[in-house]
Amino acid sequence: MSNKAKRDVEKTYPLPDFIAKLRRLADALEQGEPFEIQIAGERIYVPAQAVCNIEHEREGRQEEIEFQIKWTNTP
């Protein structure tokens, strides 16, 4: 069992920072390498075999696109 606490955060970044994070992610995915990112003060390590998907949600007049990366941590 993981020692990590449950976490569900949403962090807004200035556009240049967001673009830089996306660019680093794209480079890592293209090279088949793991990716490291810091979100709201916590460093996250994403393995190269993580699954990527894009989600679109619509509710009333609001729309949202989420670029998701999912993986399971090994003990």
DSSP state of 47: -
pLDDT along the chain (75 residues), means of 10: 79 94 94 93 93 96 95 87
3-state secondary structure of 65: strand
Q: What is the pLDDT of residue 1?
A: 47
Q: What is the pLDDT of residue 68?
A: 94
Q: What is the pTM of this model?
A: 0.77
Cα end-to-end distance, the chain, whole Å: 7
Q: What is the pLDDT of residue 2?
A: 57
Domain ranges within the chain, ordered by starting residue: 15-70
Sign of CA dihedral 33, 36, 37, 42: positive
Q: What span, in angstroms and rounded, lies between the C-alpha atoms of 28 and 38?
A: 15
